[in-house]
Amino acid sequence: MNLSVELAGVILKHPIYNASGPLCTTPQDLEGLANSQSSAVLTKSCTILPREGNPTPRYADFEGGSINSMGLPNLGVDTYLKILPSIKVPGKPVFVSSSGMSFEDQVEIVTRLSMSAELQAIELNLSCPNLVGKPQIGYDFDQSQKLIHAASKVCKHPLGVKLPPYFDFSHFQSMADILNEADIQYITCINSPGNGLVIDAETETTLIRPKNGFGGIGGPIIKPFGLSNVCKFRELLDPGIQIVGVGGIETGMDVFEYILAGADAVQVGTAYMQQGPEIFERLVRELTQVMTRKGYASLSQFRGKLKVA
């Protein structure tokens, strides 16, 4: 069974690694990933300066998923650059997510990351839903175009773009037109659909505190939108732009579905948060079992081959 995949010119042993967000902020988190069966290590989105993030409670599980309003807590780009050598494992690429607080910050972070040879790709986050007073850039097509262009000009590593979910075909087309003109290697979709609200009816209280309880939604409840975004972008993007799928993956069968919809690789967020680094071994085993049962020997035999009923 061959599960290997080339993503942005980098070889992954298999297509499953962590999403930026849960358990990838501290050196301990990143070591946990380095020592796990995750096929890559992706950091929490970093800003120029360290950030505490939003007040707690800012993450909660609920039936069907999770809600978060972390507010970009991270150690700052320079600390990540220092940590990177210590989380290096042979055969396991390290990716860094960047999420500056302004246009200029984003370009500066990509510039600093580009000076390091300790990372293999940069994931430019256009879609944090939880910053008070800051709209998601991914929903502003003009700003997205300008930022992707500016970041790609200074970027010396393969560049990926983390997108928010889109729900209208005209929006998919607008973003795809921008991406097809850009110098990027892959997209990652989807970030948490923003500004959901989950309520504890017993206590008549929101589950989280920031933004009056509004937050990004993760977990199985968002999988249909992760799949639709992967599938639609695969249809609209030039074949040279790869797609990393994320949203609600809990089993090897979920991974199979994302690849069938057109994903080159996948990330795991909420389920990794809930189950820890052991989850990657189970997901690889389950994907292998699904492929064996269906008679597939490699991912390319079914990638993007979704049939319409």
Nearest to 92 by CA among 16, 185, 190, 184: 16
Sole window of 2-10, 120-128, 197-205, 273-281 interacting with ligand RRO (rule: CB under 6 A): 120-128
Sole window of 121-129, 143-151, 198-206, 253-261 interacting with ligand RRO (rule: CB under 6 A): 121-129
Q: Is 71 in the site for ligand RRO (CB under 6 A)?
A: yes
Counting Cα atoms < 13 Å in the Cβ hemisphere of 103 gives 11
Q: Which two three-digit tokens encode residue 146?
A: 């300008």
Q: Is 69 in the site for ligand RRO (CB under 6 A)?
A: yes
Q: Is 68 in the site for ligand RRO (CB under 6 A)?
A: yes
CA 204 to chain centre: 32
Bridge partners of 67, per DSSP, are 60, 217
Q: Which is nearer to ligand RRO, 37 or 206 (CB)?
A: 206
Q: Is 43 in the site for ligand RRO (CB under 6 A)?
A: no
Sole window of 65-73, 88-96, 172-180, 276-284 interacting with ligand RRO (rule: CB under 6 A): 65-73
Q: Which is nearer to ligand RRO, 198 or 290 (CB)?
A: 198
Q: Give the C-alpha distances (Å, rounded to integers) separating 124 from 90, 154, 212, 252, 283.
A: 24, 12, 28, 27, 26
Binding positions for ligand RRO, 209-228, rule CB under 6 A: 216
Q: Is 96 in the site for ligand RRO (CB under 6 A)?
A: no
Kindly list the catalytic residues.
128
Enumerate the H helices of the chain as residue ranges: 27-34, 77-83, 103-114, 141-154, 169-181, 223-236, 252-260, 270-275, 279-294
Residue 183 in 3-state DSSP?
coil
Residue type, 113: L
Q: Is 125 in the site for ligand RRO (CB under 6 A)?
A: yes
Query: Which position among 39, 66, 144, 191 is part of the footprint of ligand RRO (CB under 6 A)?
Result: 191
Size of the site for ligand RRO (CB under 6 A): 16
List of residues contacting ligand RRO (CB under 6 A): 21, 45, 68-72, 99, 125, 127-130, 191-192, 216
